[in-house]
Amino acid sequence: MLWTGVFAAFVLGTYLLMWRAWKKRGRRQAGLPAPADAPADLGTPLLPTLTGRYFGSTSAGNWLDRIVAHGLGTRSAVEATLTEKGLRVDRPAAAGFFIPAADLAGARFEKAAAGKVLPEGGLLVVTWTLGDTRIDTGLRSDHVADHDAWVDAVTRLAAGDAPALTGTKTGTNSITSTNQEGTQQ
């Protein structure tokens, strides 16, 4: 009985310390501005909505430095919509947010974000700027094959070359863009 009590006290103490560290990190990040709210008119979607998991946001390039301010560290299911105006992230477990197209820096494949490790290339990471802070946000689609189209579309949108959805081929989307001369790429 004594060992059970000691073990329960140890587990409770560990959770208490983790909770205090989470709150302390939130206070340290209190100067981070709140993410934007989505505009009433998002415009035309560039890709079908990504449904899957939101793994959290971290300081860019540091997959263990989770951003907890404004609920950005809360893991959740996600529905992400990419339009020419930016990226809307809707989460049932936390407040959704919007990343304006001007704040997007790009997207890439990773295997880890916010302390979560997945198979090589199993995570879609969107890099963006919030105030003066560069942030990596980790998403994983229910259909990992969609990640290629998302990386391409977000990268083009971040570069100011908004891709256009041209149709569907066997479940994946074909994305094209128009260069300055008006020809499709």
Grade residue 183 by pLDDT with cuts at 50, 70 and 90.
Answer: very low
Give the CATH number of domain 50-176; options: 2.40.160.20, 2.30.29.30, 3.90.1150.10, 3.40.718.10.
2.30.29.30
Rounded mean pLDDT of the chain?
A: 84
Q: Give the model confidence (pLDDT) of 81-131 as tens digits.
A: 999 999 999 999 888 999 999 999 999 998 877 667 777 778 999 999 999
- 148-172: pLDDT as tens digits: 999 999 999 999 876 655 443 334 4
- 135 touches 57 (CB < 8 A): yes
Contacts of 80 (CB under 8 A, 6+ apart): 49, 50, 87, 88, 89, 90, 139
* 3-state class (DSSP) for residue 53: strand
Handedness of CA 132, 50, 124, 139 (dihedral sign): positive
For the stretch 135-154, pLDDT in tens is: 999 999 999 888 999 999 99
3-state secondary structure of 120: coil
Counting Cα atoms < 13 Å in the Cβ hemisphere of 179 gives 4
Higher-confidence residue of 64 and 81: namely 81
CA distance 105 to 151: 11
List all residues 6 or more positions away from 168 whose beta carbon is below 8 Å from its beta carbon.
174
Domain boundaries, the chain: 1-30, 50-176
- In the predicted structure, residue 175 carries a pLDDT above the cut 70: no
Question: pLDDT-based confidence at 37, cuts 50/70/90?
Answer: confident
Decide: 84 and 100 in contact? Cβ < 8 Å: no
The two three-digit tokens of residue 25, written as one number: 């990190």
